[in-house]
Structure formats: C-alpha cells, structure tokens
Amino acid sequence: MANTPQSKKRARQSVRRQDVNKARRSRIRTFLRKVEEAIASGNQETATAALKAAQPELARGVTKGILHKNTLARKMSRLTSRVKAITA
C-alpha cells in the first residue's frame, strides 16, 4: 500500500491510466475483429476497407504506448497479406 503522498498520487494516476489504456486496447481489438470478419466473409472490398479503417487506430496504439511498433508492423503485414490473398 502507498504511504507517501507522492506514491498515493502515483497509485491514483495509474488507476486512471489503466482505464484509458483498457478502453484503447478494446477499441483496437474491435477494429482487428472487424478486419478478421471481413477476411472470413471472403469479400476483398470489405476487407480492404476494414483494414484501411484499422490502420490509423493501430498506429495510434503505438504512439500511446499500447502496442510495440514491431508488434504493429507484424500484425499489419500479416493482415495485409491475408487481405491480398482473398483474390488469389
């Protein structure tokens, strides 16, 4: 348990940040789920649109510290290749 005033403040701040980060992570997962569903449907136009909508959200996750930049690069690479493979 926090004892000093500064550690009490940091505990309060971490709870607030945890809520914000949880909401951002959930939003990112929602966008990823929409891309996955579009890929599963087999419609490339829908999948491409969903991927374009997800890209800025994922990039924002990196700038806000939710995701590591290499994690984003890996996810985007894999999703892009799966969307391109729909027509093939």
Segments making up each domain of the chain, as ranges: 5-84
What gap in Å lies between CA 73 and CA 52, rounded to an integer?
14
**Single pTM value for the model:** 0.84
The dotted CATH code for 5-84 is 1.20.58.110
What pLDDT, on a 0 to 100 scale, did the predictor assign at position 25? 96
Q: Report pLDDT for 88.
A: 59
Report pLDDT for 62.
96
As a whole number of angstroms, the longest Cα–Cα distance in the chain is 62
Spans of the chain, pLDDT less than 50: none
